[in-house]
């Protein structure tokens, strides 16, 4: 066999062919860069992004890095939130050492004061009568505070959308509360891929490492993915004896998803339950992401704000490596797909259809922005409450006579949950 033949054979794949497949191409630049002026960075900037929990704003400001920009978040003494460029317009000292005042923030170094819109209000070291402050502006972004989360809009000012209202913000009987914040040392899109990938709940969270949720999760469900007005959903339908459990999760572009609590055990028929968690995956940089969560909480659960703020099991880097190896969870599976996952090396199958759809929505949005249009789901008519479908519903439906027919039945039952709602 000539070396050429060997190379050709190996390129198709074969035993012990690591030598022929060891080169790692760079990540897709269109999808994976988030800094100012990058295609994906400009796309993400067309949406309000959470930058801090209000609970973390105290007498001192909070330094954050969002989309590759260094920022300071603070609440001034009249209660307004500000998001400013980190470095003072005067000589660059970080405003993380600044002092929030009645109106805006004062830089520690020479006492200059900036309002939350960036206006310079005082330059006290200057000679009396100086009009220097009139031409000084600190870079600032508009903010919006909602349910204990501070959002900022970092995009083109003339395309700023209204803050979107999801129907899941208001679920009767539940209280929307600020929940967990946790970081992953990897690109945001691989964190989000996970949201439309229900197969992993059967493996990562059940068979691979012991049952992290309920035993019912240990069955690979009948799967479906559907576009919605808000973005897309997955529908995962499992048979549990005479019951059929339909689990639906939403992805809302560009980087939001929501899911129900992971404690459904599907032991009795019940209508759609929607105590959702809503999660934003905000890029700090190309290879670092912070998740911010809001959660619908049943007051009957008796949880304190501190308890609601705890990340779920295995979501954050809070376990020793040896334990993460024995019982891997979301943090481990997602952050270990390289710092920035390389799509060119993937082998996607039918079960990855949701991931493919999600990435298509993101790429379409990036290209819309690049050609001067608005991306999908950025702008909504005034007063819109955006319809989402996240739920657990359990129906009493006896099995069909044969496995193939039952699969069709499960699939039909799953879709009906969306169709009803869409009707």
Identify residues 133-162 at the interface with a second copy (CB under 8 A): 135-137, 139-142, 154-158
Which range in 101-109, 259-267, 295-303, 363-371 contacts a second copy by CB under 8 A? 101-109
* Backbone angles phi and psi of 343, in degrees to 5: -60, -30
Q: How far apart are CA 414 and CA 25, in angstroms?
A: 39
Compare residues 169 and 203 and give the one whose CB is closer to a second copy.
203
* Residue 28 interacts with a second copy (CB under 8 A): yes or no: no
Compare residues 270 and 412 and give the one whose CB is closer to a second copy.
412
8 A C-beta contact, residue 116 and residue 92: no
8 A C-beta contact, residue 251 and residue 192: yes
For a second copy, the binding residue among 32, 81, 168, 209 (CB under 8 A) is: 209
DSSP, collapsed to helix, strand or coil, labels residue 225 as strand
* Residue 23 interacts with a second copy (CB under 8 A): yes or no: yes
8 A C-beta contact, residue 393 and residue 244: no
DSSP code of 221?
P
β-strand partners of 177: 295
Q: At closest approach, how far in Å is the CB of 189 from a second copy?
A: 11
* Residue 247 interacts with a second copy (CB under 8 A): yes or no: no
Compare residues 328 and 365 and give the one whose CB is closer to a second copy.
328
Contacts with 180 (C-beta within 8 Å, 6 or more apart), sequence order: 291, 293, 308, 309, 310, 311, 312, 315, 316
In sequence order, which ranges of 134-204 are alpha helices (DSSP H)? Answer: 188-193, 199-202
Q: How far apart are CA 401 and CA 378, in angstroms?
A: 46
Q: At closest approach, how far in Å is the CB of 68 from a second copy?
A: 9
Compare residues 80 and 270 and give the one whose CB is closer to a second copy.
80
Compare residues 7 and 385 and give the one whose CB is closer to a second copy.
7
8 A C-beta contact, residue 343 and residue 186: no
* Residue 55 interacts with a second copy (CB under 8 A): yes or no: no
Compare residues 141 and 174 and give the one whose CB is closer to a second copy.
141
* Residue 122 interacts with a second copy (CB under 8 A): yes or no: no
Contacts with 211 (C-beta within 8 Å, 6 or more apart), sequence order: 205, 217, 218
Q: How far apart are CA 234 and CA 228, in angstroms?
A: 10
Compare residues 176 and 281 and give the one whose CB is closer to a second copy.
281
| Tokens read off for 383 | 């007063």
For a second copy, the binding residue among 78, 130, 229, 267 (CB under 8 A) is: 130
For a second copy, the binding residue among 45, 239, 274, 279 (CB under 8 A) is: 45
Compare residues 202 and 394 and give the one whose CB is closer to a second copy.
202
* Residue 238 interacts with a second copy (CB under 8 A): yes or no: no
Task: Tell me how far CA of residue 125 lies from CA of 90, 93, 109, 132, in angstroms.
Answer: 11, 15, 10, 11
Q: At closest approach, how far in Å is the CB of 417 from a second copy?
A: 21
DSSP string, 252-305: ETTTEEEEE-TT----S-EEEE--EEEEEEEEEETTEEEEEEEEEE-GGG---H
The interface with a second copy within residues 317-346 (CB under 8 A) comprises 322, 324-326, 328, 332-334, 336-338, 341-342, 345-346
The interface with a second copy within residues 248-287 (CB under 8 A) comprises none
Q: At closest approach, how far in Å is the CB of 204 from a second copy?
A: 5
* Residue 109 interacts with a second copy (CB under 8 A): yes or no: yes
Which range in 197-205, 268-276, 301-309, 387-395 contacts a second copy by CB under 8 A? 197-205
Compare residues 41 and 164 and give the one whose CB is closer to a second copy.
41
Q: At closest approach, how far in Å is the CB of 363 from a second copy?
A: 17
Q: At closest approach, how far in Å is the CB of 421 from a second copy?
A: 26
């Amino acid at each position: 066999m000539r070396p050429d033949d060997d190379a050709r054979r190996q390129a198709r794949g074969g035993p012990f062919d690591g030598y022929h497949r060891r080169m790692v191409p760079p990540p897709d630049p269109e999808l994976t860069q988030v800094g100012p002026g990058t295609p994906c960075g400009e796309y993400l900037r067309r949406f309000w992004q959470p930058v801090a929990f209000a609970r973390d704003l105290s007498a001192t400001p909070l330094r954050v890095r969002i989309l590759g920009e260094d920022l300071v978040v603070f609440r001034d003494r009249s209660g307004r939130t500000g998001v400013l460029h980190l470095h003072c317009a005067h000589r660059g000292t970080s405003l993380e050492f600044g002092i929030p005042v009645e109106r805006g923030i004062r830089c520690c170094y020479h006492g200059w004061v900036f309002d939350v819109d960036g206006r310079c209000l005082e330059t006290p070291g200057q000679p009396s009568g100086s009009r220097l402050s009139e031409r000084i502006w600190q870079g600032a972004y508009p903010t919006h505070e909602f349910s204990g989360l501070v959002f900022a809009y970092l995009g083109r000012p003339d395309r700023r959308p209204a803050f979107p209202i999801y129907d899941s913000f208001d679920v009767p009987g539940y209280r929307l509360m600020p929940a967990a914040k946790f970081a992953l040392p990897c690109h945001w899109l691989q964190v989000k891929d996970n949201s439309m990938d229900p197969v992993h709940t059967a493996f990562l969270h059940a068979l691979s490492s012991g049952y992290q949720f309920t035993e019912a999760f240990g069955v690979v469900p009948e799967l479906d993915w559907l576009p919605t007005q808000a973005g897309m959903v997955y529908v995962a339908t499992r048979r549990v004896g005479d019951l059929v459990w339909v689990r639906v999760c939403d992805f809302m572009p560009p980087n939001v998803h929501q899911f129900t609590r992971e404690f459904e055990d599907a032991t009795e028929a019940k209508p759609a339950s929607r105590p959702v968690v809503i999660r934003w995956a905000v890029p700090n940089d190309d290879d670092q992401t912070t998740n911010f969560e809001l959660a619908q909480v049943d007051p009957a659960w008796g949880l304190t704000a501190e308890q609601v703020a705890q990340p779920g099991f295995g979501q954050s880097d809070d376990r020793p490596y040896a334990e993460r190896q024995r019982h891997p969870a979301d943090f481990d599976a997602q952050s270990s797909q390289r710092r920035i996952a390389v799509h060119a090396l993937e082998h996607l199958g039918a079960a990855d259809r949701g991931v493919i759809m999600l990435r298509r929505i993101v790429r379409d949005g990036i290209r819309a922005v690049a050609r001067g249009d608005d991306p999908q789901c950025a702008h909504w008519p005034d007063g819109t409450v955006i319809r989402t479908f996240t739920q657990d519903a359990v129906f009493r439906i006896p099995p069909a006579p044969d496995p193939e027919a039952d699969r069709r039945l499960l699939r039909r039952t799953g879709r009906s949950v969306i169709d009803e709602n869409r009707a």
